[in-house]
Amino acid sequence: MATIVQKFGGTSVGDVTKIKRAAEKVKREYDAGNRVVTVVSAMGKSTDTLVQLANDISDSPDKREMDMLLSTGEQVTISLMVMALKEMGIDAVSLTGWQAGIKTEPVHQNARITNIDTERLESYLGDGKVVIVAGFQGMSENGDITTLGRGGSDTTAVAIAAALNAESCSIFTDVTGVYTCDPRVAKKARQLQSISYDEMLELANLGAGVLHPRAVEFAKNFQLPLIVRSSTVDKEGTIVEEEASMEQNLVVRGLAFEGAVTKITIERLPNRFHTMSDVFSSLAESGIDVDIIIQQMTGENEMNVSFSLNTEKLSEALQVLENNRERLEYKAIRHEDSLAKVSIVGSGMISNPGVAANMFQVLSDNEIEIKMVSTSEIKVSVVVPEENMVNAIEVLHTAFELDTREASKVTIS
């Protein structure tokens, strides 16, 4: 008997009708003779409602108590899912994250899974039960309930699948799979039949919201096939695997984008060995993440440093730099907001030189100014004016033939 792990997100279990529909998909796998573990999120926007309740009481809710509160959302879903399955004649049992043996580091609101004790899961599966597990939560070594942060249910499902040596892990969501770009922005975006872990990880880190990066990392580390598929329609999904088995002729596999980007330039810093360390340590100590970094020598003893960050962090970053002005010894700071980051991703770039040049040429031909550039083996990111973001996405999507190729057909059962 194969072990199958499934995950249904909040929109897929947003009401009783959707929970029943999800239960039918669980029943289908069970009737096929598989051992089934299903991870579920809180219903719809219920987590947002719980957060609002906390904020109505406190401007700064205690993190431990927030985890205690937020973990209740998934408990509602697991119990309703089991009730739906029992009405269908399926023997099922619900488990919270800690009942399922999920151990985490002692961090609240963004804990990482350290271990999964599968004894109880294996016991129920051995008895022929379907096991419904609450996503997004676990228990620390000192016995506190913890939550896993954004994308926590995806991570729960992949971690359980890895611990059980499952055949695959299916992520059911409100889209039919992984697309070449967000179809709400790129109107000619199409669904990919397969994509590599590395490509999916880059896209996830660059803003594609279909999978959380931590879940993709787990799957890659354990070589676990991930399938992204629709919870509402029976349609082919997208397989995330070590090497994409379809569309090998695509140099670029997808585009990602992120708005609300600001570029900060620190001018005339002293050119010393520890200057870069001092600048970015100051920002890191305040929890400010930066993205693209550019260093420019302006003289024998001075340099400029530019970096990008989310616009939400602009005021805080400027304050940190001002507080450290005497130590950093810079002469001025300027910033430019209303920017966006647009990225192309594809493992084919490794063996195809000139992809970046082609990207720059396309943007130049369309009079889209490039403010910053960042590259890796399989991606090129550019920062452009936010008003040009959609146009940049559309022309690049067409230029790299993502909206013109016919996808090969493969059925995912």
Check whether residue 265 and residue 167 sit in a common domain.
Answer: no
Q: Which of 104, 101, 109, 163 is nearest to 133 (CA)?
A: 101
Per the structure block, which two tokens stand in for 4? Answer: 């199958």
Q: Which of 141, 140, 124 is nearest to 132 (CA)?
A: 124
Mean pLDDT confidence for 126-135: 98
- Domain final residue pick, 174, 195, 220: 174
Q: Is the pLDDT reported for residue 408 higher than 90?
A: no
Mean pLDDT confidence for 284-288: 92
pLDDT in tens, 186-223: 989 999 999 999 999 999 989 888 888 989 999 999 99
The pLDDT score that the predictor gives to residue 351 is 84
Beta bridge partners of 169: 5, 226
Cα gap 158→168, rounded to integer Å? 9
CATH number at residue 275: 3.30.2130.10
- Domain final residue pick, 144, 174, 204: 174
pLDDT in tens, 66-90: 999 999 999 999 999 999 999 999 9
Cα gap 129→124, rounded to integer Å? 6
CA dihedral 209, 213, 217, 220 (to 10 degrees): 20
Q: What is the secondary structure of 366-405 as a DSSP string? A: TT----EEEEETTEEEEEEEGGGHHHHHHHHHHHTTTTTS
Query: Does 25 map to a domain?
Result: yes
Check whether residue 135 and residue 263 sit in a common domain.
Answer: no
The pLDDT score that the predictor gives to residue 247 is 59
pLDDT in tens, 99-125: 999 999 999 999 999 999 999 999 999
Query: Does 384 map to a domain?
Result: yes
CATH number at residue 44: 3.40.1160.10
Check whether residue 155 and residue 289 sit in a common domain.
Answer: no
Considering Cα of 346, then 350, then 356, then 359, what sign does the dihedral take?
A: negative
Query: Does 161 map to a domain?
Result: yes
The percent of residues in the chain predicted with pLDDT above 70, rounded, is: 96
- Domain final residue pick, 174, 199, 234: 174
Check whether residue 267 and residue 384 sit in a common domain.
Answer: yes
The pLDDT score that the predictor gives to residue 246 is 58
pLDDT in tens, 344-397: 999 889 888 899 999 999 999 999 999 999 999 999 999 999 999 999 999 999
Domain that holds residue 288: 255-399
Mean pLDDT confidence for 53-67: 95
CA-to-CA dists, residue 133 to 45, 50, 77, 142, 315, angstroms: 19, 20, 9, 21, 41
Query: Does 179 map to a domain?
Result: no
Beta bridge partners of 173: 230
Q: Is the pLDDT reported for residue 9 higher than 50?
A: yes
Check whether residue 281 and residue 163 sit in a common domain.
Answer: no
Mean pLDDT confidence for 307-327: 96
Residues 174/10, Cβ–Cβ less than 8 Å: no
Query: Does 225 map to a domain?
Result: no
pLDDT in tens, 244-277: 665 566 789 999 999 999 999 999 999 999 999 9
Cα gap 266→236, rounded to integer Å? 49
Q: Is the pLDDT reported for residue 404 higher than 60?
A: no
Residues 78/132, Cβ–Cβ less than 8 Å: yes
Q: Is the pLDDT reported for residue 49 higher than 70?
A: yes
Cα gap 254→2, rounded to integer Å? 32
Check whether residue 67 and residue 156 sit in a common domain.
Answer: yes
* Strand 137-140 to 102-104 pairing: parallel
Q: Is the pLDDT reported for residue 407 higher than 90?
A: no
Query: Does 327 map to a domain?
Result: yes
What strand order describes the sheet that includes 102-104? 113-116, 102-104, 137-140, 145-147
What strand order describes the sheet that includes 238-241? 92-95, 130-134, 35-40, 3-8, 168-173, 226-230, 238-241, 194-196
Q: Is the pLDDT reported for residue 412 higher than 60?
A: no
Q: Which of 157, 153, 169, 177 is nearest to 233 (CA)?
A: 177
Check whether residue 32 and residue 154 sit in a common domain.
Answer: yes
Q: Is the pLDDT reported for residue 410 higher than 60?
A: no
Collapse the DSSP code of 309 into the 3-class scheme (helix H, G, I; strand E, B; otherwise coil) and give the result: strand
The percent of residues in the chain predicted with pLDDT above 90, rounded, is: 85
Q: At what angle do helices 275-285 and 314-323 cross, to 10 degrees?
A: 130
CA-to-CA dists, residue 126 to 37, 89, 91, 122, 134, angstroms: 12, 18, 12, 6, 20
Q: Is the pLDDT reported for residue 308 higher than 80?
A: yes
Considering Cα of 59, then 63, then 65, then 66, what sign does the dihedral take?
A: positive
The pLDDT score that the predictor gives to residue 249 is 66
Q: What is the secondary structure of 203-228 as a DSSP string? A: HHHTT--SS-HHHHHHHHHTT--EEE
Check whether residue 139 and residue 274 sit in a common domain.
Answer: no
CA dihedral 163, 168, 171, 172 (to 10 degrees): -130
Collapse the DSSP code of 149 into the 3-class scheme (helix H, G, I; strand E, B; otherwise coil) and give the result: coil
Check whether residue 154 and residue 302 sit in a common domain.
Answer: no
Cα gap 139→116, rounded to integer Å? 10
Local confidence band at 1 (pLDDT 50, 70, 90 cut-offs): confident
Considering Cα of 305, then 310, then 311, then 312, what sign does the dihedral take?
A: negative
Check whether residue 17 and residue 152 sit in a common domain.
Answer: yes
Q: What is the secondary structure of 101-141 as a DSSP string? A: TEEE-S-SSS--EEEE--HHHHHHHHTT-EEEEESSEEEET
Query: Does 182 map to a domain?
Result: no
Query: Does 89 map to a domain?
Result: yes
Q: Which of 194, 166, 167 is nearest to 180 (CA)?
A: 194
What is the number of structural domains in the chain?
2
Check whether residue 170 and residue 55 sit in a common domain.
Answer: yes
Q: Which of 163, 157, 117 is nearest to 240 (CA)?
A: 157
The total of other beta-carbon atoms located within 10 Å of residue 218's CB is 23
Local confidence band at 405 (pLDDT 50, 70, 90 cut-offs): low
Mean pLDDT confidence for 16-39: 97
